[in-house]
Chain A
Amino acid sequence: MFITPTGEEVFVIDGHTHFWDGSPANQRNIHGKQFIDCFYTYHTSLSPPDKLWPKDQFEKYSAEQMYHDLFVDGPDDMAIVQSTYLTEFYKNGFNTIDRNAEMAKKYKDRFIVNGAFDPRDGERALEYIHYMKETFGIKGVKLYTAEWKGESRGWKLTDPNAYRCLELCQKLGIINVHVHKGPTIIPLDKDAFDVHDVDHAATDFQGLNFIIEHCGLPRLDDFCWIAVQETNVYGGLAVALPFIHGRPRYFAEVISELLFWVGEDKLLFGSDYAIWTPRWLVEKFWNFELPDDLKQEHGVDLTQQAKRKILGLNAARLYGVDVEAQKGKLVGSAHATAAE
């Protein structure tokens, strides 16, 4: 629970967190090393200096540390923990659903564990979706379209096999599809970060919600254009939000743009833990005011009500979390106190 400087409670669902093992012992090859190194570059580039972690801690951290950073030191009430396999880069996977679920079961009522699938597995992907639903009761998946597999260097939501997987998800009630558009190498003649496949999939699967992580960045403009037309497309704020510390003007411009095109009902807070920790992000976000010139130019405002929605209420709606009931369950748990 986040407590505002004036003593009000704000319910927080961290929409994007990870429990990964990127340690050298788990790295399969140079790509595994470069993958976690790249995350660490994001961490060092955008974190406040006093929030920087040593590299080895960043590569692999314990469940206890994660719990502490999110719920004890941090203001999260709940967190969505995403699964990303990357088995071409990591011997035991980067953060599989089994690893996530194992961690989550130690902390009752705190985590929503999401699955993942790779449509290039064909029939096996369909079987795996059934397995995740039956074993873990998932309500969402995280899809990483830039994942390498054999000779393949990425896939699209509109691939026929991906459509079969999405059909099954819709049928089984796995309704929240978090999409991370990492850089793909194929098709060679296309923009590597192209988000237009989301547009088609969102139109064709009206029973699913598509949460585009990082708001489509580095294709924010294309993402906004899609989100304004598709009622079931949402934006996750990870990567954009940390700019609030070092480059607040850019954050202000991006959030104004998102409020204008996408709207406050369709944006989700996410710390992208462990790239960033939620406490400083939530504190700064709550205290952030849009500059007057942007308010005027865009005709939008980042009100306290908008902040509440972004920090938790929107995710609660997508995942069917009854906020008042959930607060009751969590009474007595440690929570962060407001920044002075």
Chain B
Amino acid sequence: MDAVLLHHDQRTREVWARLALVTDPELDESVTELGFIERVTLDDNCGVDIVFRLPTYWCSANFAFLMADDMRRAVSSLPWVREARPQLRDHMVAEEINRGVSEGRSFGDALRDFASGGSLEEVREKFRRKAFERRQEVMILALREAGYDDQAICQMNLSTYDKVEFDTEEAAHQKPRYRELLVERRLAWLPGDQAFVTYDGCSIKRYELASYLQRLRGVRINMEFNSSLCRGLLAARYREPEGNSAGRTPVDAAPCGGCGSGCAARSVEPPVTAENSAALA
């Protein structure tokens, strides 16, 4: 492979790595892992086109906007990128969102034809809370599993939290993610700070933990269910469902529109992960 292509592949991988940090706020999972990114294309002027699609035409406009805007920011932060252009397709307000994001407008401004004003801060905050609670529940249950009693969990400080090692993949995955939100929200950042507090910064009493966990369980079950639903819908919308015997033709099996311009050669698909392929399992 020649040096130019190698360089190109390296940069494409960098873009995918940045996109992996963008989450669907509703699911608290990465947009790359969810399969939302259809393709990434680099042009000769250090511009990056990111084509993405969602499980349905009707997915929340505000989340679609947030994801598009987050993708633009994440990819633009690479030092060599001059312009990142997210392109949502097959969505009820794709045109408004694409134009709004490319012009750096706010959501309320981009969709002002439907209503005036409005920012997305309240929505962002609502789902940041849910993400925090989902991650926190995973960690509390993992600590119980590892033999910590409720008293120890409620009193655990950040330094102790950092030292705990977890066997399960989910706990290992969520451990730094939970910590990240603790620090970001300034709920805990010094070694002696309590590692398990509510999103509003209150201590959790040992005797309150059981009822507190009942509520967090609902948050987690809802998110996991939605994630499963979204993955299934996306797979059914864009690919042949596994084990389908009805003889349907796939809606859009080609990774790229197949326009024949040669762009496909420059597109790089994400590696198929076990999780992606298990969407319909």
- New A-B contacts (20) at CB < 8 Å, excluding given A55-B248, A182-B58, A239-B229: A37-B57, A41-B56, A41-B236, A45-B229, A45-B241, A45-B280, A49-B245, A54-B248, A153-B114, A186-B115, A188-B117, A189-B119, A192-B62, A218-B225, A220-B221, A220-B222, A246-B232, A246-B280, A257-B217, A257-B218
How far apart sit A53 and B63, CA to CA, in the bound complex (Å)?
Answer: 32
Counting chain A residues whose Cβ lies within 8 A of the other chain, the interface size class is 35 or more
Could you tell me if B222 and A193 are in contact, using CB atoms closer than 8 angstroms?
no
Residue from the set B236, B244, B245 with the largest chain A CB neighbour count within 10 Å: B236
B196 contacts partner chain A, Cβ-Cβ < 8 Å? no
A302 contacts partner chain B, Cβ-Cβ < 8 Å? no
A158: shortest Cβ distance to chain B, in Å?
A: 16
Could you tell me if A261 and B126 are in contact, using CB atoms closer than 8 angstroms?
no
- List 6 A-B pairs, minimum CB-CB distance, nearest first: A188-B118, A45-B236, A189-B118, A192-B60, A52-B246, A221-B218
B5: shortest Cβ distance to chain A, in Å?
A: 37
A190 contacts partner chain B, Cβ-Cβ < 8 Å? yes
Chain A residues in 8 Å Cβ range of B62: 185, 188-189, 191-192
**Which residues of A are at the interface with B, using a C-beta cutoff of 8 A?**
31, 34-35, 37-38, 41-42, 44-46, 49-50, 52-55, 146, 151-153, 182-183, 185-193, 217-221, 224-225, 239-240, 243, 246-247, 250, 253-254, 257, 260-261
Residue from the set A37, A221, A240 with the largest chain B CB neighbour count within 10 Å: A221
Could you tell me if B56 and A188 are in contact, using CB atoms closer than 8 angstroms?
no
Chain B residues in 8 Å Cβ range of A53: 246
Chain A residues in 8 Å Cβ range of B59: 183
**Which residues of B are at the interface with A, using a C-beta cutoff of 8 A?**
26, 55-63, 92-93, 107-108, 111, 113-115, 117-123, 126-127, 130, 214-215, 217-219, 221-222, 224-226, 228-229, 232-233, 235-237, 241, 243-246, 248, 280-281
Chain A residues in 8 Å Cβ range of B114: 151-153, 185-186, 188
B116: shortest Cβ distance to chain A, in Å?
A: 9
**A-B pairs with beta carbons under 8 Å apart, 16 shown:** A34-B58, A45-B232, A45-B280, A49-B245, A183-B58, A183-B59, A186-B114, A189-B108, A189-B119, A193-B60, A218-B26, A220-B221, A221-B130, A221-B215, A225-B215, A239-B229
